[in-house]
Every structure is written in C-alpha cells, then in structure tokens.
A = this chain, B = another copy of it.
C-alpha cells in the first residue's frame, strides 16, 4: 500500500479498494456501489446520528425522491447554483411527462410544500423532522469516493419554530448533537460562519463544520443553517399564535453526509490501513485462533470467548479462514478493527487471551474474567485515536499573522476584516478560500490583509 504521507490521494483510493468499501467501476461517473464493509460503516454512522436526533425529539420521515419543477422553482430564487446540477426526469415509459421531475438535490422544496398541511397552530411547534436518503447532484467537477459524488448519502434535519429565538435555540441544539457525533467519530473540527457569498442560498447564515484532511485541504463535513422566515415566506408556512394572529414560522436545517466516512478514513488511517473508532467498526474484536496441537480445542475456546463478549453487545468474529495468523493480522489491521485477540495453546491452557490494540504496538495478556472490561479496552483505542487526531488537527490548523505566511500548505487561522476584497487577495495568491469567522469567538485583531479591524477567521484549500 502507498505511504499515506507521501501521496494521500493515492493512499485514499487504494485503501477504499483494499478494504472493499465501495466500487467505482459502475458505469455512471460519480455513482459508486456501496460494498458490505463500507455500507456497514455508513449504517453505523447513521445509527449514531439517528440516536442523537431522536433523543432531541427530531423524528425520522422519508420523502419521495422526485420533486416537481414548479415546486423546486420556488427555491431557484435562492438556489441559483442548484439549477445546473439537477438531474431531470422527463419521461415515464414512452410518454413525455406533463411536468419535469427533479431528483432531489436537497429537500426544502419537497418538505416545505407539506409543512402548511402539518403546521397550523403554535401547538404544532416546534416541528422537527429528519431523513436519511440519497440526494443527487449532476457534478461536473472531478469526482472522488465519499467526497464528491453524484449520488450522496445524506442526513438532513428540518425544523420550524414560533420565532427567531426558538430557531436559534435549535441551532445550538444541533451543535450539541454534532458534538456527540464528532466525539463518537473521534473527530476534531472548526465551526466556521460562512461568508455571506458562500452561505446556503436562502439562509440568514450558515455554520460549517470544517476539518483539515491529510493532503492539506479542508473538508466540510456538515452544516447548520438558520433560515429565519425566508423559506416560510416562499412556501407560505404560517401558524396561528395564541392570540389568533397568523405568523410565519422560523426554520433551520442541519446536514451531514458520507463525507463523515471520508474524514474517518483520511484522518485516522495509517500506513497499515483503516483505523476505526469502535462505534463504527463493523467488527470490533477479531479473534484469531493460532494453529497448534489442540487446534480443535483452541477453536472451541475462541468461539466461547466470542460468545462471551457478544453478550456485552460487542461485534466480534472468529477468523477461521485457511490463512496464516500473520496474513490475518495484516488483513484485519488494514480493515481497521480496534481489538484483536490471539488465542493459541498457551492462552487455552491459562484461560487467557492475548490482546492487541490497533493503535499500539504492545500486546497484553488478559484473564478471561477481565473480558467484562471489554469497553475499557475499546475506549483505550478510541482515546488513542482521539489523541492522534487532536495532534493532527492542531498541527494542521495554524495561526498566522503575516500575509506571506498564508503560503503555508496548512489550514490557517488569521484575523480578517470580512471583506470580499481581502479574501479574494488571499484566494488569488494562495488558493485558500475564506471558510469564515470562527463561530462563538469574539477575539479581534488586525486583518491579515488590510490591517483594519478583523475577527478570528479560517482559510484553507478545500475539497
């Protein structure tokens, strides 16, 4: 396998092939086949997001994939960019359809035409739903697995509120959800308020979750948007308040995608392959029986051990394939399994297992009764992953105070006045885009370009 540091892009493509996460040989560019291991990882990420969303009373729904042109066009006012990225269904069988139907690029226009049927009174608010679906973009740019594809695995939450203040509470609640998701994925991130010219069209403001990736580009892995009344006015979404007055709702959205998987692969992986936080590892513990005189007994013992840790809800498997232990070790390390148990004659006789951590070189021997501490061992791996990710994050998001130093390959924090003129100068010279002001940060200093008053902001090359 490629060395990760030398050529991240090559390494990234290669590990996706080797670990059999997705297959891009399907004959439509940017539409890949999800293979079992990759799909399982994505589903485990979905489960995490689903759990934390439902905890906050955001309920799961599923809308049709097709949206009629007339409904989508309401949004074109805002969403000019989308128009050129939409797949259009024009025929049913041999008939030309009366009206063109779009494959959803996102679901505002699908959902918000239903909202007036569901939201009548203040007692219907707050109204909170999400869905996990595929969305479609007719991308003309270079595609890349999980990062830029034409069929995107997507989580989108949509809420409606009595007023702007309650919508703002929701924005903070999204960040609570995101914090928990990011912690489970062992990820660090920067919360950046996108510049007005780069916010979601129709939003009052957008906050993006940006993370530096190897290869010196930042990846936007998620966003939350405050819509205020903008969409409510377009789609006529009103409620009756306690005094009987009709008012527009205030709305927000929260989006996450398969880019989370790209981030996990890219940030945590090493020269041996994937390194997976245990919550999204399809196999959390792989048990490798080591051939010896009593192989039948070793195998039985291995299966017993598997049964015991499965009782704790751990995803475990015994690798009974006809390969050498060395081959199996490498194979499961490449696939990122957090813990490996090695079981040979000695372990059988001692009633122990030899435990190896994906993130450490040392092995330890544990007694059978210590299996009840399995989540401690899994958390050891998670802690290692977090520490390494944190170091990488801090190393790759650096504070700069002089214009020339923006030439670093890394993602940069700097004070910025907020003007397009200054950010254009940065972009033209260093190919770094303004990701925006850091959210919830009031530090101020001289703009790194013009020297006027500025706020702490982030700049980076992006995917």
Contacts and interface: CB of A to CB of B under 8 A. Distances in A.
Q: Which of A36, A84, A117, A134 is packed against the most chain B CB atoms within 10 Å?
A: A36
A68 interface: yes
Contact of A114 (B26, B59, B93, B94): B26
Interface string A396-432: 0000000000000000000000000000000000000
Interface stretch (A27-35, A261-269, A356-364): A27-35
B26 A64 contact: yes
A93 B89 contact: no
Contact of A25 (B28, B60, B86, B114): B114
Given A26-B64, A86-B92, 7 more contacts: A23-B117, A28-B66, A31-B64, A83-B93, A84-B94, A88-B89, A89-B103
Q: Looking at chain A, what size class is its interface with the partner chain?
A: 35 or more
Contacts of A89: 87-90, 103
A56 to B, nearest CB: 14
Interface in A69-106: 71, 83-94, 100-101, 103
B65 A151 contact: yes
A84 B94 CA distance: 6
A39 interface: yes
A40 interface: yes
A90 B36 CA distance: 31
Q: Which 5 A-B pairs have the closest CB atoms?
A: A92-B138, A31-B64, A84-B93, A34-B62, A36-B59
Given A88-B89, A93-B138, A68 B34 contact: no
A25 B117 contact: yes
Give this chain's copy count.
2
Contact of A87 (B23, B61, B92): B92
Interface of A is mostly: mixed
Contacts of A101: 28, 87
Contacts of A295: none
A113 interface: yes
A115 B374 CA distance: 39
Nearest to A36: B59
28 contacts: A23-B114, A25-B117, A26-B64, A27-B68, A27-B71, A32-B64, A33-B61, A33-B63, A33-B64, A33-B114, A34-B61, A34-B63, A35-B61, A36-B129, A40-B60, A65-B65, A65-B103, A66-B87, A84-B93, A84-B94, A86-B93, A87-B91, A87-B92, A87-B101, A88-B89, A89-B90, A91-B100, A93-B138
Contacts of A88: 89-92
A23 to B, nearest CB: 7
B28 A64 contact: yes
A39 B25 contact: no
B86 A61 contact: no
Given A90-B90, A103-B89, A151 B64 contact: yes
Contact of A85 (B33, B62, B71, B93): B93
B91 A31 contact: no
B62 A39 contact: yes
A70 to B, nearest CB: 9
Contacts of A40: 60
Contacts of A25: 114, 117
A89 B138 CA distance: 11
Contacts of A66: 28, 31, 87, 151
A68 to B, nearest CB: 6
A8 to B, nearest CB: 26
Contact of A68 (B28, B93, B94): B28
A53 B84 CA distance: 41
Nearest to A95: B138
A244 to B, nearest CB: 21
Q: Which of A31, A34, A64, A93 is packed against the most chain B CB atoms within 10 Å?
A: A64
Nearest to A113: B27
